[in-house]
Structure 1
């Protein structure tokens, strides 16, 4: 199997991000709060703005995009020390091959470089596969819950904040 590489995308890479994001929305529309029709209509300025708001990492294999993840600042956090991992998607043909693991590890490394002390990942409470994956990556459940942006049978009606402590502080504290 060809090696997985992860490439950070800058503002000028907005078309690369747009392409993989739209592929994710087409393939897994139930996994995202946005719709393909809505995001296809976004203009270049909006895509560039998105690139400035959060870091975007794309996983590639043999020169083609096979996954994507975003790293931002956790919404509602008291300061910028809480990062948030979101928008994780892996192409169906690449699932189970280490792409998601590689993306999360690179996202955690980036968050550490940015000085963030922990990374928050919201997961559907009924999505056993996603909860198990996050737990296996070192994320720990918290008491924080919120309604799902999109309710699905797989994810349930609410999601849980799971936290990955970064750096020397391995305690899963979270202040939202």
Structure 2
């Protein structure tokens, strides 16, 4: 498989939005927002385009097809610019287990390491998502907190693990 990882642009909002809706349907336990809320948004593509300009989102492509994403948001204030968060990590099911998530995470971490004064990256993951937790641990992330009943999905409470990588 030939895969290209690159920073996404605002004009790729439609690709991102379609993958996001897929993610919310396929893995509702992995995201704080819901598919139902997402499809009710007014002008979602405008919002996605704005977010793609503000945050750093890397996309994994096979040819023209977007197959995975990861977003990094840095703290914006004087007291929080030393840290950032990874969000919205997703790989479409047909490409899982093929190194796409690993490549996306590596690209995001390499980008972050080039930022001055950045000390740490945080990520939260559903406790039941053992594959994702294993991937994050392999890059040096450590669990620093376990939040019980963090999400309520399909009539069931899910716990989250909060993880950190010190640079």
Quote the residue 2:19 is aligned against.
Answer: 20
Give the CA deviation at 1:88.
0.7
**Misfit runs of 4+, over 6 Å:** none
Corresponding residue for residue 171 of structure 1: none
Contact 1:127 1:156 in 2 (8 A): no
Indicate conservation of the 8 Å contact 1:54/1:71, yes or no. yes
- Residue 165 of structure 2 corresponds to 164
TM-score, length-scaled by structure 2? 0.82
Q: Which runs of 5+ in 1 are unaligned?
A: 167-176
Secondary structure of the residue aligned to 2:133 is helix
- TM-align CA RMSD: 2.7
Partners of 2:120 and 2:65 lie apart in 1 by 30
Distance between the aligned counterparts of 2:164 and 2:140, measured in 1?
8
In 2, distance between residues paired with 1:75 and 1:127?
Answer: 29
Between the aligned partners of 2:24 and 2:152, the Cα distance in structure 1 is 16
CA distance in 2, matches of 1:145, 1:156: 14
Contact preservation (8 Å) 1:71, 1:83 = yes
User: What is the TM-score with the length of structure 1 in the denominator?
Assistant: 0.78
Q: Who is 1:112 aligned against?
A: 113
For 1:119 and 1:11, the matched residues in 2 are separated by 24
**Structure 1 partner of 2:139:** 137
The match for 1:172 is none
Offset of residue 12 of structure 1: 2.8
Q: CA deviation at 1:152?
A: 5.5
Quote the Cα distance in structure 2 between the aligned partners of 1:140 and 1:17: 29
Which residue does the alignment assign to 2:81?
80
Mapped to 1, the partners of 2:79 and 2:127 lie a distance apart of: 25
Is 1:93 equivalent to 2:94 in the alignment?
Answer: yes
